[in-house]
Structures are given as C-alpha cells and as structure tokens.
Amino acid sequence: MGTAIDEDDDPFEEQRERAKNPMRRLFTEYGRENVPAATIGIFSSVIARILDLLPPVLLGVAVDSIFKQRGSGGSEFDLAVLPASAIPETEVGQLYLVVGLIAVAFFGGAGFHFTRNWGWNSFAQHIQHEVRTDTYDKMQRLNMDFFADKQTGELMSILSNDVNRLERFLNDGMNSALRLGVMVIGIAAILIYLNWQLAMITLLIVPLLGIFTYAFIQRIQPKYKQVRSSVGQVNSRLENNLGGIQVIKTSSTESYESERVEDVSQDYFDANWDAISTRIRFYPGLRVLAGVGFVLTFLIGGLWVLGAPLGPISGTLSPGEFVTFILLGQRFIWPMAQFGSIINMYQRAYASAARIFGLMDEPSRISETPAAESLSVSDGRVSYEEVSFGYDADEQILEDVTFDVAGGETLALVGPTGAGKSTVLKLLLRMYDVEEGRITIDGEDIRDITIQSLRRHVGYVSQDTFLFYGTVAQNLTYGAFESDHEEMVAAAKAAEAHEFIMNLPEGYDTEVGERGVKLSGGQRQRISIARAILKDPEILILDEATSDVDTETEMLIQRSLDELTRDRTTFAIAHRLSTIKDAEQIAVLEAGKIVEQGTHGELIGADGLYAHLWGVQAGEIDELPQEFIDRASQRQARVEATDDD
C-alpha cells in the first residue's frame, strides 16, 4: 500500500526553494532571444481572434437591416468598419457584402491561425531546446557529491518531464491565455458598444470567476509540488530496477521489485489523483458560473426583445443585437471555462521551472579562479602536502596525507577497503577540492589550473568500467576524438583488446549495448584501458584497473601497463598486491592516514599492515597476528555504513 507523498521527500526541495521568480527568469533569460517568433504569434493571435468575432456582429447587422426590418422603415444598413459610400444600396447587394465579409473573416482567420501556431511553436520549441541543453550543461558540471545524493531517474525527470511541461505552457498555455484575453476584451467591448445595460448583466460573473479561480490556485499549487516529487521517485525506481535487471533475475526477486514499483506508483497515483480531484471539481464550477451569465443574458434579453424589459432597463434591444449577444455570449463562456485549464498549466509549469532554475543555481564547490591557467606538464612531478579532506563536516576521510612522486615514477596506494585510496586520487582530478593542504603538479597548485586542462593531462581507468551505448570504436576514441584508425588499433593492441575485438561480429563497429552489456567485464575493462592509452596522458591513474579480468588476462594487461607507465607518472590502486609490487613507491593507507610507505621489500621487512595484507593474499592466514584480525573486523564494521573504495 502506498504512502502519502510528503513535500519534504522531494530530492530537489532545497533547489526548488532557492529559485526566485522562476517564470520571470524563464522569459527574461530565454524569452528575449526568441522575441521575433513570439511577436508573430501574438500579432497573429490578436488578428485571428478579431476576425473570429466579426461573423456574429455581421450576422446581427444582417438580421436587423435585411431580414427583420425589411420594409418597416427601420434603421439603415450600417457597418462601423466601413464608410457609408462602400455599402450597396440594394438589400441583395448588402446581403452579398455581409456574406463576402464573413468569408473574408473565415479565410483570413485561417491564415492568421497558421502563422499564430507557427510563431508560438517556434517560440516554445527554441526555449525548450535551450533550457534543456543549459540544464544538462549545468548538471554535468556539478560536484560528484551532488550526484551521490540524487538518483538518475530524478535527474532525468527534470531534463525530460519538467522541460516538456515548460514547452507545453509556452505553446498551448500562453497561446490560450492570449486568445482568452483577446476574446474576453473583444467580446466585452462589442457587447458594451451594442448595449451597455445588457452587457453589464453578461459580464456580471467575471468578478465571481476571478475569486473562484484564485481559490483554486491556492489549493492546487501545493498538490502539484507533491506530484512532481512522486514522478521523480517513480522514474528513479524504474531506472534503478532496469539497470539492475540481471541482479533481480538471478536473485529471483521479481515479485519483491514489483511490489516496490507498485508502492511508488501508488504514491504517484495518490498525489496525482488528489490534484486531479481538485481540478475536476473546479472545472464544472467554472462552467456553472459562466452558464449562469449566459442564462441571465438570454432571459433578460429575450424579455426585452418581446417588449417586457425587467427592472430599471430602458431603451430598446433589436433582434439583431439580441442574436449577437447570444452568439457572443456562448463564445464568452468557452474562454472563461478554459481559464482554469490555463491556470492549471501555469501551476505545473511554475513547479517545473522552480526545479529547473533551482538546479541551475546549485552552487559548485569546485570553481576556477579568474586567473586560472592551462596546465603544461614538463616533468610530471606530483606532490601531496598535508592534504586533509571530508565529504562533510562530520566525517574526515583523509588526514595529513603527504607524499611526493617524481615524474615517470609509479606510486601504488594499498590498504583495507574504506581507507580512502580512491578519494586520494579523486582529489588529483579535482572531483573534490582539498580542505587543508595542497596538491601540486610540477610545483603548481592544481586549484590554480583550469579544470579542463588538468583532466586533459590525467588519464583515469576506474574499477567501475562504463561504456556508452554505441560501437567499440566510439568508446575507444571517447575523449580522443581526433584519433585515427591506426592509433585506435595500436591502443587496443597495447591493452590486449585487439584480438577479442576482431572476433566480435562487426569488429570495431560492433555495438556494445547499454553500458556495454554485450561484452564481458574483462572486455569492458580492456577497452577502458585502451581508451586511456589512446588519450596518452602525462599522468595516469589506475583504480583497480585489472579488477574484472581473469588471471591470464591480468598477466597480459599488466605486461602492457608496464610498457605504458614507463615514461609517465602513474598512480595505481590495487587489492591484488602482486600487480603493484614493482612500484617505485607503495603508500599504505588506514583510516585516511598513510601508516607505511616504501618499496615492496622494505614494507615486507617492516612486518606491518602491508606485510599482513600480503600474507592474506599468500594464504598465510594462520600466521597472522590476532591484533591484525581484530582491527580488520573493526574496519569492516565501519565500512558497512560507508564504502569509499
């Protein structure tokens, strides 16, 4: 059974509350560049609606001047839009004139309806495109800790659903709002011109409609916030489950996951149905109020035409004027009833705009100084000087980490799970910024370097290999798009990937599937290594680069990596200590501190944490001291809450 959505459950609540005047920003920041299209839409809307109002007026004139008052000495045929000299003298000619003007109004209106739709659609589509691309650009530049708190489905909800809601309002909503405004003002002006007394009766409901609509807005706005929150949760659950479909199948948990999807879907159903219930109660009430105005107009106007005016009404009401009132009165009801739909669209767009601009205003912990310069690597020397860091103020991950790696050397980082090894190297890439101390490349603080140039000179092979949907070749050359085919093949051979690639159905043009699902873990890892080789960086980071390969493949890759790392500064994280025993330096981390540092031989001789970890992998568990086993148990207990590596 689903639970009610609480507004505090919205993962973007903080961002949404930060956004000020989101709809105004939408028009000022994006609307100005699309003023020509909007101008065409506005102008065409006004003219089209004016032409739409002409037939009822012309019909009323025809009734009075041609049919009803024929031969009775009534008023002459009169059209305010034409001079008297342009009006035919004969009744047949006058009839033809009216018919011609009505035809012009219909055909002209059709043309302006076309240009109106073109203008509004162009306006909305351009803004939709610009908002989506700007939102994505901002999103991908945010810090990694932002993504740690958000699910992919929630972010997709903003880029897809929220941006699309803006487009619908900018196209349908604004178009309808302008059409409503022109119709209401135009009809009111015509009715007052024809007979101000009856017009006051017809327009009597307008203030009531305003009060009724205001009450609706106050009730519906918080409900739409709940709907937006529940949509993000549904998207997140579906995206998470589809991404983990193999785990679901192998665990035989289809029923369990179906229940979880049912829960979040029920939450969305409850929130959306609550908003729908409010909306569907509002629309009939709106139509009833509009209908009351029409009934009063018909009743009072009918009695007036029959010679029995009510109350203080004075003067005359011709049949033609009465017909015009009835026809325009019906047209008056329709836009009034549509007003609620426009308000409904606006409220949805407002909620979406608040989430979008709240995200755009998300502050970044990683920023470049105005004087930041591009990195130019000469020696490739990397130094960590008393570096401390924590993902939040309550937990320190690294403390006083200090080491120096000469250009061309390899530093291996080892230690228990959760020691902070991956975090050390993420700081070098400026995925996060140090809180204390500094990191330098050839003596230059990386915070004084442009982020793009820094990451261009640092290659990264992660333990979590990610391949994009596309071909093997597209994934190999990602980030090195200018590479030619020969360079790509050379990189694949260096990573021991060429042979298996050539055995694929279409070789380098084989589609790898979503996240590389058509390849094995070892194949994905070798493509990732080849991608780093092709980038040819001066500094290389290998974060468990051989974690997903078998022993034989590991040997082949290690042979290539030895050649690859020979002339570049390399950082390697490895749980398999055999892969890093030849490194010039090995730093052993425990609880965010470097507790040992040296070569493999020196650390084995020291009989400390490294020697004990080596003993574990050598199968010498019975010879390990009890103190090491107790500390390992304590470390595992801490890792259950957070897992850094």
pLDDT tens, residue by residue, 272-307: 898 888 888 877 877 787 778 778 888 888 888 887
C-alpha R_g of the chain: 36
614 exposure class (CB count in 10 Å sphere: 0-12, 13-18, 19+):
middle
In 283-359, DSSP assigns E strands to none
Ranking 18-22, 214-218, 219-223, 547-551 by mean pLDDT, the lowest is 547-551
3-class secondary-structure state, position 624: coil
Q: What token pair was written down for 127? A: 């803004």
In our burial notation (b when 16+ CB lie closer than 10 A, e otherwise), range 204-223 reads ebeeebeebbeebeeebbeb
Above 80 in pLDDT, residue 632?
no
Mean pLDDT of 587-598: 90
Among 531, 538, 525, 545, smallest CA distance to 491 is for: 531
Mean pLDDT of 490-496: 84
Phi, psi of 18 (to 5 degrees): -75, -25
C-alpha distances in Å from residue 282, one per residue of 337, 338, 441: 10, 11, 65
pLDDT tens, residue by residue, 31-59: 888 888 888 988 988 888 888 877 877 77
H runs (alpha helix) in 361-506 = 421-428, 451-456, 472-476, 485-494, 498-502
What is the pTM for the complete model shown? 0.67
In 442-568, DSSP assigns E strands to 444-445, 458-461, 539-543
Euclidean distance between CA atoms 33 and 39, whole angstroms: 12
Euclidean distance between CA atoms 565 and 583, whole angstroms: 10
Neighbours of 241 (CB within 10 A): 18
- Bridge partners of residue 403, in order along the sequence: 384
pLDDT tens, residue by residue, 444-455: 999 999 988 888
pLDDT tens, residue by residue, 402-426: 999 998 899 999 988 778 888 898 8
pLDDT at 571: 92
pLDDT at 438: 93
pLDDT tens, residue by residue, 354-401: 888 888 887 777 777 888 888 888 888 999 999 998 877 677 889 999
Mean pLDDT of 151-175: 83
pLDDT at 4: 38
